[in-house]
Structure 1
């Protein structure tokens, strides 16, 4: 695996994200070193080798940032992938979320000079992140094999979800030239009845069957076998620590 030290990338190329556009994803993992081996083997991600064990590490693909692996500081917290939505004013957006019936899981806080982050939940409990950029604007690559390409909200009340996110992220969903990178679907069919509302992060792959074989070889498992959606062929998997994500072939 190629070395890729963080000091070689003091700032990432700027990209403008409309408020409500998915701009970053991260995984909260018990063992970040194991995560580096898994996702490096699956997607070809590269990682800095000089990051402290208790600090998040950014994954890069061909030199550009694509995701982060974050160590869990509380064993009671879930092992999950989280999608973060862009905003120019994270505190103002947090107030709107609460006014519309959502809640803050963690209040806005600065992340060094990289930006300002917060975690929120919609009225049905689906958790998502907010990101106000500083030096770090978000994805350096997306919609390429091995990178983020879609986030699907699986929810029990699609009408309520449409109202909440339609108001919260109207321009990203319906504005001029809008090409949203997330959608929603009813929480039925491929998921068990007890599954809570959640966002499922999708990574693009060129060969879904080959990627599924790699997931299993690296110690992960197939959670939901391949099925077809309006945006492509999907399979839901977990990594070797239990974090769920989807493989999407278009």
Structure 2
């Protein structure tokens, strides 16, 4: 697999205190199976769909117990340089660049509003072995109360072109690499409780959004929003039993015209 362009979403993982519970939940909802836990790397365990790596789950390290959350990793050809760009743009590096065996190098950072994301410089592990297919990663959005700050910050770290949707009812922008959409940016409205921190919402592809929502409910997850249909697909957002937010989308159920967008200076 060739190296992904700088800023491309390439991996997602999450810490869960109840690792077996997380495996059971996502196995039920997304049809994941799981590889062997890597004791050398804190029992890091890859999630598989049709035998291909699509994400990972890991128990928390001592002292890191707390709220579970999905972390999206963005590709970098030089993690150390990307970390310096994060700092220069007003963000924070939460975990300094570190080598992960022969797999690659990583860092964890956050934007000025507190949106946490990862940086990944691939070695043996390039990232998703399957994406944009049922049971795998499909999209992600920076969910924040300060979209202007996000729309300024992320293009300083990665070569994103930012375009804002022309719609007074929604505060939404798209970050593209050349002509390829890479990420979305969504404003958190007043309906979002103040205690909910900004985050990156990771979308997994499903064949039927409503059927997936039923599986989430059966497995103990909580519906937050949807299902609803958009020009990008039918989607819904949830919180899993351990508090990690995620979304699902069926791109084949898209309805309506693609919205107009304008460049953000």
The TM-score with structure 2 as length reference comes to 0.83
Q: Closer, same or farther in 2 for the Cα pair 1:246/1:129, shift >3 Å? A: same
Tell me the SS of whatever aligns to 1:93.
Answer: helix
Please list, as runs of the form range in 1=range in 2, the aligned pairs for 1:1-250 lying within 5 A after superposition.
Answer: 14-49=1-36, 51-52=38-39, 54-73=42-61, 74=63, 76-171=65-160, 173-176=175-178, 178-188=179-189, 191-229=192-230, 231-250=232-251
Give the Å deviation of 1:36: 1.4
Tell me the SS of whatever aligns to 1:166.
Answer: helix
| Structure 1: stretches of 5+ with no match in the other structure | 1-13
Give the Å deviation of 1:61: 1.1
Distance 2:176 2:25 in 1: 37
Give the Å deviation of 1:97: 0.4
Give the Å deviation of 1:49: 4.2
Q: Closer, same or farther in 2 for the Cα pair 1:224/1:213, shift >3 Å? A: same
Tell me the SS of whatever aligns to 1:212.
Answer: helix
- Contact 1:19 1:171 survives alignment (8 Å): no
Give the Å deviation of 1:72: 1.1
User: 1:115-151 CA deviation, whole Å, 9 max, x = no partner?
Assistant: 1111000011100001010100000000001110011
- State the partner residue of 1:5: none
Give the Å deviation of 1:223: 2.3
Number of aligned residues: 236
- State the partner residue of 2:263: none
Distance 1:165 1:122 in 2: 8
- Contact 2:37 2:44 survives alignment (8 Å): no
Across the aligned residues of Structure 1 and Structure 2, the Cα RMSD in angstroms comes to 1.9
Q: Closer, same or farther in 2 for the Cα pair 1:75/1:167, shift >3 Å? A: closer
Give the Å deviation of 1:167: 2.2
Q: Closer, same or farther in 2 for the Cα pair 1:175/1:129, shift >3 Å? A: closer
Which is further off, 102-111 or 237-246? Answer: 237-246
